[in-house]
């Protein structure tokens, strides 16, 4: 993991990182993580006796005819165990191993066939249940929080819910870094979740009394969404607290624009707040920045705090408004193939001074955008280390109506920095203590130390540019 850069000089101008030609003001700030480490310090392992899906094998059992080639042919006498007890050979033939079992996975079929023949509680041997348990065990062994089994019921959730947006309460979630359920990455402003007291970083422990610590994002979405006007009770653990609290939220219709435009008070700067990347985001950013410039803005604060990502195409389009050429990002897939996503021509704002704000909950597309602007030397990044969600994921259907949500690639910044599990380090580390300040950084500027640092950085940048031209 990359080390956080915490600068300790006086709050004045000083040397610029070699990567970044933009002059940077750095401040001595004490770093206190609101959420603790967002990188997995270890994973909860669910060990399964059957580490692979059995559905295909169960179908094949009725078709195989290799009678002398199964596990029974190898059970030819007692085995003395280390404790001195004796394991007796199976007295009856076991179902033959199907021909299509891959090399190395024969023990899966052997274990299942032994269970079918000899397990005492035969009523517990349900092929469908065992198959699902096998898939869960196989995927969990990968220790990848973004690869999981999706039950048939959950698989039916529409794609808006799949991206982690709760249509019923107005909050966005991600898989918890320790793979124990999900956390709230952002309650949307003026939504039932925010009004009820849900906060960024809240861990969802239960929904309506049902344990949620083993759920995937899709399972959480499926349980929390519901009809407008109906209540749902979330049991959550706030950041820094060990005492769970029950929060009742009344579901409602959530309407949220992806871009909010504001003038920063008492300055000539504008603030572009991107909450997520949708098909309309690039157009909204282009229109918003132009409006701010027309109103006299001389610099832009690009606020990506709490942004969980969204459409990659939208991320590339937004980056292209501020860059002239080169890469935005590149993807390396499971076969080692690389796909480049390049800057599109025609960006309208390649010169305007720009500062970018990020936090622990800036994820995925917001990390791609931040990394691109940072690698190109186009912005100074202020805030805290980002979430570290740099994986490309895909949902594949299974024959039982469920699915496998799996990681198929990784995103890298133009200079080759891996985003997954590492995140993007800011140029200037400044913590926003929401509980101490008492305001929402997504809706307010007053008392926000990161906004204040961005204003000072823009002041310095513009003054430096003016002196160089004078």
Per DSSP, the residues of 263-283 read EPTTSSEEEEEE-SB-TTHHH
Contacts 24+ apart (CB under 8 A), 8-13: 11/456, 13/460, 13/464
In terms of DSSP bridges, do strands 231-237 and 203-207 run parallel, antiparallel, or are they unpaired? antiparallel
Rounded CA-CA distance 99/63 in Å is: 9
Contacts of 46 (CB under 8 A, 6+ apart): 136, 137, 140
C-alpha pair distances (Å), 355 with each of 200, 342, 384, 410:
23, 22, 14, 26
Catalytic status, residue 389: yes
Closest CA to 202 of 339, 306, 324: 306
Rounded CA-CA distance 166/163 in Å is: 9
Catalytic status, residue 28: no
CB 310 within 8 A of CB 280: no
Per DSSP, the residues of 84-153 read S-EEPPPSS--PPPPTTPPTT-HHHHHHHHHHHHH-S-GGG--HHHHHHHHHHHHHHTT--TT-EEE-HH
**What are the DSSP E strand ranges found in 177-242?**
182-187, 203-207, 210-211, 231-237
Catalytic residue among 216, 258, 364, 391: 364
Catalytic residue among 96, 199, 389, 427: 389
How many other CB atoms are there within 10 angstroms of residue 242's CB atom?
Answer: 6
C-alpha pair distances (Å), 104 with each of 3, 52, 109, 405, 413:
40, 11, 11, 24, 37
Contacts of 77 (CB under 8 A, 6+ apart): 89
What residues does 340 pair with on adjacent strands?
A: 330
CB 405 within 8 A of CB 150: yes
First to last CA, the chain: 43
Catalytic residue among 202, 359, 375, 448: 375
- Catalytic residue numbers read 364, 375, 389
């Amino acid at each position: 993991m990359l080390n956080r850069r915490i600068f300790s000089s006086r709050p004045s101008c000083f040397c610029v990182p070699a990567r970044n030609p933009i002059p940077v003001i750095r401040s001595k700030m004490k770093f206190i993580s609101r959420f603790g480490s967002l990188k997995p310090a270890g994973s909860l392992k669910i060990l399964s006796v059957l580490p692979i899906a059995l559905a295909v094998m169960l179908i094949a059992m009725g078709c195989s005819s290799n009678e002398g080639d199964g596990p029974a042919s190898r059970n030819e006498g007692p085995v003395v165990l280390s404790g001195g007890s004796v394991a007796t050979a199976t007295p009856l033939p076991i179902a033959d191993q199907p021909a299509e079992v891959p090399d190395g996975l024969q023990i899966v079929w052997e274990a299942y066939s032994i269970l079918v023949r000899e397990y005492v509680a035969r009523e517990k041997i349900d092929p469908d249940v065992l198959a699902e348990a096998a898939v869960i065990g196989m995927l969990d062994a990968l220790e990848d929080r973004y690869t999981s089994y999706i039950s048939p019921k959950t698989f039916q959730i529409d794609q808006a819910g799949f991206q982690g947006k709760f249509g019923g309460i107005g909050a966005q979630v991600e898989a918890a870094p320790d793979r124990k359920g999900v956390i709230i990455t952002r309650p949307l402003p003026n939504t039932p979740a925010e009004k009820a007291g849900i906060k960024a970083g809240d861990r969802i422990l239960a929904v309506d009394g049902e344990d949620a610590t083993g759920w995937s994002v899709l399972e959480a979405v499926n349980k929390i969404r519901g009809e407008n006007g109906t209540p749902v009770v979330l049991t959550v653990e706030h950041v820094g607290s060990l005492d769970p609290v029950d929060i009742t939220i009344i579901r409602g219709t959530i309407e949220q624009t992806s871009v909010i435009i504001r003038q920063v008070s008492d300055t000539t700067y504008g603030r572009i707040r991107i909450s997520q990347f949708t098909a309309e985001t690039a157009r909204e950013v282009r229109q918003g920045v132009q409006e701010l410039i027309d109103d006299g803005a001389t610099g832009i604060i690009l606020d990506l705090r709490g942004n969980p990502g969204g459409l990659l195409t939208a991320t590339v389009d937004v980056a292209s408004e501020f860059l002239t050429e080169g890469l935005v990002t590149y993807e390396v897939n499971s076969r080692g193939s690389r796909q480049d996503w390049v800057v599109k021509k025609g960006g309208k704002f390649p010169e305007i001074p720009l500062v970018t704000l990020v936090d622990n909950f800036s994820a995925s597309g917001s990390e791609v955008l931040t990394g691109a602007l940072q690698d190109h030397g186009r912005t100074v990044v202020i805030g805290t280390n980002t979430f570290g969600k740099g994986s490309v994921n895909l949902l594949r259907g299974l024959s039982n109506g469920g699915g496998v949500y799996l990681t198929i690639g990784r995103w890298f910044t133009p200079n080759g920095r891996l985003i997954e599990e590492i995140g993007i380090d800011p140029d200037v580390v400044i913590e926003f203590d929401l509980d101490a300040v008492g305001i929402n950084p997504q809706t307010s500027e007053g008392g926000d130390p990161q906004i204040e640092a961005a204003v000072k950085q823009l002041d310095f940048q513009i003054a430096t540019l003016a002196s160089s031209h004078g």
